[in-house]
Amino acid sequence: MRDPDGLIARAGVRGDPDRDQHFLVDDRVLDRLPTHLTEIDADTSHLLEIGGGTGALTDRLLAMGDEDDEVTVVERDRTLAAFLQEEFREEIDAGRLTVIEGDALEVDLPDFTASVSNLPYGVSSEITFRLLPEKRPLVLMFQQEFAERMVAEPGTSEYGRLSVSTQHYADAELVESIPKEAFSPPPAVQSAVVRLEPRDPDYEVDDEEFFLRFVKALFTQRRKTIRNGIRNTAHISGLEEPDAVVEAADEAVLQKRAGAMAPAEFAALAQLAADVSAVGEGQ
């Protein structure tokens, strides 16, 4: 296995925190990351890595599979992408690795079977919500606090819009916390790995876009009751007749606050709202 410090030295770079560059240098952490996928028997025949850096994780991902398995890595930094092309020339020539130089929010993504990535934290939310609708198992590194919000249950202070929208697509589990010292340079805060296993939600929504916008709207007023939340946030949710929704909804639900509403309760309310009110664009 390639030594992470050796890779950084060969690349001749220093991670630039302003460009979300924190390279993993702890071998034990690097070795463990792929096991979070194998534990759930994920299909690892085409792994996607967002933000390859100097390739320490890329190397582990290549070692997971056999000759026919593939890895695609996306890296925005031109110097790092060029280094990956050079360092992994043999694997690229053998058709086992593809390096895409570009922004993970913009480039076309391959038809991957799973992803393991130490995400650039500045765009981790946008990247995650680009990957989640693909319905593939994901093992992703986040800032600890962000990870806790993703996996939070109703009734906790971490539970919010991020929890509902993440869990709409997948079962989310915080599988390990990673100390700052595992990275070079160390980030400002501790990190955590979240495993996302895709599944259909245990509720149905006809209009997914409206459902997610409605949840976002109600959490902007998390201290208010759902009754007031529906009325005050119609400009965000796009509901054209919020009063009609309040009229039609159950009193028990109207008295709740967003932080106590389970995803299925939001879904039922969104469904009812769309049935009794026209829905415009919202924000």
Ligand X SMILES: C[S@@+](CC[C@H](N)C(=O)[O-])C[C@H]1O[C@@H](n2cnc3c(N)ncnc32)[C@H](O)[C@@H]1O
Q: Is residue 34 involved in binding ligand X (CB under 6 A)?
A: no
Determine whether the annotation assigns residue 118 to a binding site. yes
Task: Check whether 155 is labelled as a binding-site residue.
Answer: no
Q: Which of 9, 14, 19, 155 binds ligand X (CB under 6 A)?
A: 19
Q: Does 232 count as an annotated binding residue?
A: no
**Least Å distance between CB 115 and ligand X?**
12
Question: Segment 232-271, which members bind ligand X (CB under 6 A)?
Answer: none
Q: Which is nearer to ligand X, 84 or 268 (CB)?
A: 84
Find where tokens 């009794």 sit: 276
Least CB distance to ligand X at residue 64 (A): 15
Site for ligand X in 50-89 (CB under 6 A): 50-53, 56-57, 74-77, 80
Residue 22 touching ligand X (CB under 6 A)? yes
Nearest distance from residue 12's CB to ligand X, in Å?
Answer: 14
The C-alpha atoms of residue 98 and residue 143 are separated, in whole angstroms, by 27
Q: Which residues contact 258 (CB under 8 A, 6 or more apart)?
A: 160, 215, 218, 219, 221, 222, 226, 229
Is residue 51 a known part of a binding site? yes
Tell me, rounded to whole angstroms, the distance of Cα 232 from its chain centroid: 29
Q: How far is the CB of 107 from ligand X (least distance, A)?
A: 8
24 known ligand binder: yes
Instruction: Give the range of 102-110, 201-209, 227-235, 265-273 binding ligand X by CB under 6 A.
Output: 102-110
Tell me if 115 contacts ligand X by CB under 6 A.
Answer: no
Residue numbers in the known binding site for S-adenosyl-L-methionine are 22, 24, 51, 75, 103, 118
- Chain contacts with ligand X (rule: CB under 6 A): 19-24, 50-53, 56-57, 74-77, 80, 103-105, 118, 120, 123
